[in-house]
Amino acid sequence: MSTEVRVPTLGESVTEATVATWFKQPGDTVAVDEMLCELETDKVTVEVPSPVAGTLSEIVAAEGDTVGVDALLAQIAAGDAAPAPAAKKEEPKAEAAPAPAAAAKDVEDAPSAKKLMAENNLTDVQGTGKDGRVMKEDVLNALASPAPAAAAAPRAPVAADQAAREERVKMTRLRQTIAKRLKDSQNTAAMLTTYNEVDMTEVMALRNEYKDLFLKKHGVKLGFMSFFTKACVHALREVPEVNAEIDGTDIVYKNYVNMGIAAGTPTGLVVPVINDADQMSFATIEKAIAEKGAKARDGKLSMAEMQGGTFTISNGGVYGSLMSSPILNPPQSGILGMHKIQDRPMAINGEVVIRPMMYLALSYDHRIVDGKGAVTFLVRVKEALEDPRRLLMDL
């Protein structure tokens, strides 16, 4: 009895993927949920786990193949792997002579990449796939590159004794995707950051007063993120361009708020999205943040859960950051950076008092968000947090 391994749902607007890497080969034993292969799309990388335990009997889609949703990738036979036949052990010796030809086959470019290169008369594209294979994304990057001069600078010379103490580790697909998206954001958007600070006295007092009751009733802790989410939703209603995006020569205004909550994981930064955050209560927001945060840490977020965001909140304060400028999460036009709460002397009504203060940073796309709108947004967030009653009365 055999089980089919098929391409999973790839998320909104994604209809095909390229098989990047096979972690298993025919004859290998696989366990349930053990990673079989990695697929690359225009947006993210998807790992395909084994649905059953058994032996990988056949690979249908080879590395570099372009596959659609639900396409057959492989077959898994039930039961443990059979002992490797003697002929298989002798394979390396038998094929030692034609090694150059085999190597040439290993680095064959992805079909989708070859098609794009032919259509655009490209011949020299640097590949980032296995063994230097040119992937579709590499060709798209080459087409988007303004000039060859934009290539990365060569690595600085390193003395032999220092080189021996270095460790070279290949970037994960997630880290490569993060690097590309953030650099694309800088190259595309007219990014600017404006700052303000907020007195967290009232939010902290409200949280301390109701946190036990909140936990008892809703089964989730009352954190600061729900206050910031609510404050941002409140501000986005007044400054809708911060919740919009550019599509060609059009501006698309979103009459809803899908809030991205940036989360650090051992493998890199991810941004799970809380859909329709503007329709949620404090408790619903906290539950959604807790659920998505746990999935992010366990590496179980689906692509659908990281797509469709209209605005993002990033909390560098949990790591001790006092002030920073967050980078936009394209195609969004705004991202709020939270920072560490720190007691500082403040002048209040002519007197110097100690208050728990936090710096806020709003990075925005100046192509559609003017300075007035950005400052107004940040001031509204500040006002809502310094007097949370304004959120209840929509003031």
At residue 150, the pLDDT reads 47
At residue 96, the pLDDT reads 44
Q: Give the number of other CB atoms < 10 A from CB of residue 15.
A: 10
C-alpha span between 286 and 292 (Å, rounded): 10
370 is catalytic: yes
Residue 11 has pLDDT above 70, yes or no: no
At residue 218, the pLDDT reads 92
Residue 86 has pLDDT above 50, yes or no: no
Q: Give the residue, 252 or 41, on which the prediction is more confident.
A: 252
**160-169, 188-197, 285-294: least confidently modelled range:** 160-169
**82-86, 261-265, 306-310, 368-372: least confidently modelled range:** 82-86
At residue 153, the pLDDT reads 62
Residue 147 has pLDDT above 90, yes or no: no
Residue 101 has pLDDT above 80, yes or no: no
pLDDT tens column, 342-394? 999 999 999 999 999 999 999 999 999 999 999 999 999 999 999 988 877 66
- Number of Cα atoms under 13 Å in the Cβ half of residue 306: 22
At residue 97, the pLDDT reads 44
**98-102, 305-309, 342-346: least confidently modelled range:** 98-102
Is 0.85 surpassed by the pTM of this model?
Answer: no
| Beta carbons within 8 Å of 377's beta carbon, 6+ residues apart | 235, 236, 238, 239, 242, 334, 362
Catalytic residue from among 28, 42, 184, 366 = 366
Provide the pLDDT confidence category of residue 119 given band limits of 50, 70 and 90. low
Catalytic residue from among 70, 106, 131, 370 = 370
At residue 249, the pLDDT reads 87
Residue 62 has pLDDT above 50, yes or no: yes
Provide the pLDDT confidence category of residue 121 given band limits of 50, 70 and 90. low
Residue 186 has pLDDT above 70, yes or no: yes
Residue 109: name the closest of 170, 66, 172, 150 by CA: 66
C-alpha span between 24 and 147 (Å, rounded): 39
C-alpha span between 283 and 187 (Å, rounded): 38
pLDDT tens column, 17-41? 888 888 888 888 998 888 888 887 7
366 is catalytic: yes
Residue 136: name the closest of 145, 144, 127 by CA: 127
Provide the pLDDT confidence category of residue 215 given band limits of 50, 70 and 90. very high
C-alpha span between 93 and 37 (Å, rounded): 27
341 contacts 203 by C-beta, under 8 angstroms: no
Average pLDDT over residues 101-121: 60
- What is residue 25's DSSP assignment? -
Q: Give the residue, 170 or 232, on which the prediction is more confident.
A: 232
